[in-house]
Amino acid sequence: MKKISCCAILCSGLLALSGCEALLTPDAPPPPPLPAAHAAPAAPPPLNLTDVAALQSINEQGLFLQAIAAMAPTHSHRDLTKNFAKELGGTYKKVNDSVTSIAKSANLSLSSQLSPSYQIQVTSLSRLYYRDFDHGLFQRVFRPLPRQTRQSIEQTKKSSNTADLKNLADSFLKAQTTMQNKARDLMKY
């Protein structure tokens, strides 16, 4: 009996020690904190119908003015006209870069081709040289935007959902006015 009780004591002692091991082992360290969740960039507010119409109009006008400005080096002989055309093309290149950026962020696909009416004007101007070309270039730049197009762009400038589009409409209208004034002044020479 003594043997059994020694075995029982020994077994119960081993069991007790195995339970103590759990008490003596330190707890596992807490898991590291999760990285801060990066908020997804806020989607730009959707463009309304007026905004899209204005963006398309600005795009078309910019493409047209860049196209006619690109003809000046080969169609004009006056440095005055060539310098104006260079400035005109550069100004509207910046405008169209902004148009592309806004359209891309709004998942819009804008045409990179001229509308048929603008294409006819480019073709007509491409047949002119020297003084006739200069006069035709200045006339086309000086020509005001159609009333409905201008109103659409002004409306976008005032009430668009996006600040980028408001700024674009504002800079486009300022560039338009500046270039029209320069063209008007150059028509006198």
Q: The pTM is what?
A: 0.72
CB neighbourhood size of 56 (10 A): 18
Tell how far CA 119 is from the center of its chain: 25
Domain range summary for the chain, segments of one domain joined by +:
49-186
pLDDT range class, residue 47, cuts 50, 70, 90: confident
> In this predicted model, what pLDDT tens digit does every residue of 97-153 receive, in sequence order?
999 999 998 888 888 888 899 999 999 999 989 999 999 999 999 988 889 989 989
Question: Taking a C-beta distance cutoff of 8 angstroms, is the pair 138, 128 a contact?
Answer: no
> In the predicted model, is pLDDT for residue 1 greater than 70?
no
Query: 25 pLDDT exceeds 80?
Result: no
Mean pLDDT on 44-70: 87
Tokens at residue 150, please?
Answer: 């201008």
Q: What is the DSSP letter of 31?
A: P
Does 49-186 carry CATH code 3.90.1150.10? Answer: no
Using CA atoms in the order 50, 108, 111, 63, what is the torsion angle rounded to 10 degrees?
Answer: 70
Tell me how many helices (H) and strands (E) the chain has.
7, 0
147-176 pLDDT, tens per residue? 998 998 999 999 888 889 999 999 999 999
